[in-house]
Amino acid sequence: MSQIIINGNGNHYDDSHKIKNGNSYKNNNSSPPRTASPIFSYVNENYSYEIIDNIKNYLMARTKIRPKIGIICGTGLGHLAENLTEADSFPYEEIPNFPVSTVAGHAGRMVFGYLNGIEVMCMQGRFHYYEGYALSTCSMPVRVMKFCGCTHLIATNAAGGLNSSYNVGDIMIVKDHINIMGFAGNSPLQGPNDHRFGPRFPPMNKAYDPELIDIALRLSKEMKMESETRCGVYTCVGGPNYETVAELRMWKILGVDAVGMSTVHEVITARHCNLKVFGFSLITNKCETEYDTHEETNHDDVVTIGQRRQAKITNFVTRMVEEINNLIINCQ
């Protein structure tokens, strides 16, 4: 039975051209919508294996960089990508079948280059659920990274500090996440599973690589950043509104240390295709868990804190990339 699907422009189309027992398209030229589409666009069928492969081919034909490490720059953290040398930069609008970034603080480019002599690829801007993209679309570039040869992902984000001991400007190494959106049945892996990406039921108990967490903690000591480095639990909410006091209090009880609107679905997708993950949050604001405050979280402040901390973040990521590269070399 075919199903009518409504895309972001309100257009109707029939899905009878799709292969029923897989998530690939009969016609590989059929394109998912380029602009943010409602989440009820057919969740996991938008980006087939073949489409991801086409995106990879487009990029690989235009850069000599062969990265093993992919980096996602969080809000206000795009400066990282400007430190790449011999860079090849691809605006998302120019990459076939790619969505576009719509949020301030996310430039919207895939940048390939050398970070301190090491080949990386870097998303200077990510996609969020609140922009109207399905979770599978938000995390689709992670699969592109895998196809481009990456074995490791560094996912960075801006987040509110819920743990009351956290300060604005701290770096929180993510030791784990709570997939709150998953509790409501929303997953980037929802829909037919193409086993060429990964297994139907991927484990998530070591979502954030323990060895990379240890390395990051050691680096924070070496870089004399110990007093501003934390290690905690992140959660992603749908957004775009920030949280109510009652919501924050509930999540605090659940063990959440930092709250954002990204990363979790990217990490799930990365683990599904067996990428090793290191993640950290820049704490850009304190979550307001009391009613009698005049403070209000706002996105301009989030971006500003990211920009203020860009030198530290860039140094930290550069050192992590060196360490991960050493691990990769030692494994060869």
Ligand X SMILES: O=P(O)(O)O[C@H]1O[C@H](CO)[C@@H](O)[C@H]1O
Ligand Y SMILES: Nc1nc2[nH]cnc2c(=O)[nH]1
- With contacts defined by CB under 6 A, name the span among 32-40, 146-154, 181-189, 259-267 that binds ligand X: 259-267
Question: Which residues, other chains included, contact 258 with Cβ-Cβ below 8 Å and sequence gap of 6+?
Answer: 159, 160, 161, 162, 163, 166, 172, 174, 232, 233, 234, 235, 281, 283
Q: Is 103 in the site for ligand X (CB under 6 A)?
A: yes
Give me the residue label for tokens 């530290």: 312
Query: Considering only 64-72, 221-229, 264-272, 280-288, which stretch makes contact with ligand Y by CB under 6 A?
Result: 280-288
128's contact among ligand Y, ligand X, none, with CB below 5 to 8 A by partner kind, is ligand X
Helix, strand, coil percent content, the chain, rounded in steps of 5: 35, 20, 45
Q: Which part of the chain contacts ligand Y (CB under 6 A), choosing from 115-123, 139-147, 237-245, 271-279?
A: 237-245
Check residue 95 for interaction with ligand Y (CB under 6 A).
no
Q: How many residues bind ligand Y (CB under 6 A)?
A: 15
Is 78 near ligand X (CB under 6 A)? no
Q: Does 299 sit near ligand X (CB under 6 A)? A: yes
Query: SS3 of 317, please?
Result: helix
Q: By CB under 6 A, is residue 261 in contact with ligand X?
A: yes
Neighbours of 30 (CB within 10 A): 15
| Residue with nearest beta carbon to ligand X | 74
Q: Which residues of 12-29 are buried (b: 16+ CB within 10 A; e: fewer)?
A: eeeeeebeeeebbbeeee
Among the listed ranges 26-34, 39-47, 88-96, 236-244, the one in contact with ligand Y (CB under 6 A) is 236-244
- Least CB distance to ligand Y at residue 200 (A): 30
Segment 158 to 217, residues that bind ligand X, using CB under 6 A: 158
Count of CB atoms within 10 A of residue 89's CB? 17
Of residues 239-258, those binding ligand X (CB under 6 A): 239
C-beta separation of 302 from 263 below 8 A:
no
In the beta sheet, which residues pair with residue 184? none
Please give the residues from 137 up to 176 whose contact with ligand Y meets the rule CB under 6 A: 158-160
Least separation in angstroms between residue 243's CB and ligand X is 11
Residue 74 contact partner, candidates ligand Y, ligand X, none, CB within 5 to 8 A by sort of partner? ligand X
Q: Is residue 262 part of the contact set for ligand X (CB under 6 A)?
A: yes
Interaction of residue 77 with ligand Y, rule CB under 6 A:
no
Q: Which of 48, 269, 284, 325 binds ligand Y (CB under 6 A)?
A: 284
Please report where in the chains the tokens 């784990």 appear, as a residue.
176
Task: Specify the residue, 45 or 288, whose C-beta has the smaller distance to ligand X.
Answer: 288
Instruction: Please tell me the distance from the alpha carbon of residue 54 to that of residue 97, in angstroms, as a whole number.
Output: 9
Q: What is the footprint of ligand X within residues 220-239 (CB under 6 A)?
A: 239
Q: Read off the tokens for 127.
A: 């996609």
8 Å CB contact between 36 and 8: yes
- With binding defined as CB under 6 A, does residue 128 bind ligand X? yes
With CB cut-offs between 5 and 8 Å by kind, which of ligand Y, ligand X, none does residue 160 bind? ligand Y
Q: Which position among 74, 99, 161, 232 is part of the footprint of ligand X (CB under 6 A)?
A: 74
- The contact mask relative to ligand Y for 240-259 (x = CB under 6 A, - = no) is --xx---------------x
Closest of 109, 97, 98 to residue 71, by C-alpha: 109
The position carrying tokens 């960075």 is 156
Measured CA to CA in angstroms, residue 163 lies from 33, 241, 245 at distances of: 39, 20, 14
